[in-house]
Amino acid sequence: MAHLKVLLLSLLAVFAPAQAMILSSSLLVLVDLITGVLAAKKRGEKITSQGLSRTVAKLVIYESAILLAFITQTYLTGNTIPVASVVAGFVGITEMLSCMENLNSLSGTDLLKVLIKRLSNKSKID
């Protein structure tokens, strides 16, 4: 039991610098899940355990990819190539786009286009 504790603490110490990437991507997956469920309910779709299990699988895959990229960056490329940041960025953008699609479904409009239009109108006023 003591060996297991040492192993777990060692793993936590190794991956501690990747904490922000892991938490950020997990938060985006959670927001995607919440907005996805709300959008599905609005469309009258049935919420199933199969659909929810895809979120768990996605979370495991994303976090594993980030941790593997972190190991690669830290111990193989010597921080020359920001592999972990690139992978975490890809995960973040993917989840952000999915959240935007869900929000578009909830609002019935393309929120990004509305935002761009409002910002361009504001810049013309200034």
Q: pLDDT tens digit string along 4-58?
A: 899 999 888 888 899 999 999 999 999 999 999 999 999 998 888 888 899 999 9
The domain tally of the chain equals 1
Report the C-alpha gap between 66 and 61 in whole angstroms.
9
Q: Within a domain: residue 78?
A: yes
What's the pLDDT at 125?
58
What's the pLDDT at 27?
97
Q: Which domain holds residue 37?
A: 17-125
Q: Within a domain: residue 11?
A: no
Q: Within a domain: residue 8?
A: no
Q: Within a domain: residue 79?
A: yes
Q: Within a domain: residue 9?
A: no
What's the pLDDT at 110?
87
Q: How many CB atoms lie within 10 A of CB 95?
A: 22
Would the pLDDT of 126 be above 60? no
pTM of the entire structure? Answer: 0.81
Q: Within a domain: residue 7?
A: no
What's the pLDDT at 78?
83
What's the pLDDT at 85?
94
Q: pLDDT tens digit string along 66-90?
A: 999 999 999 999 889 999 999 999 9
Q: Within a domain: residue 50?
A: yes
Q: Within a domain: residue 33?
A: yes
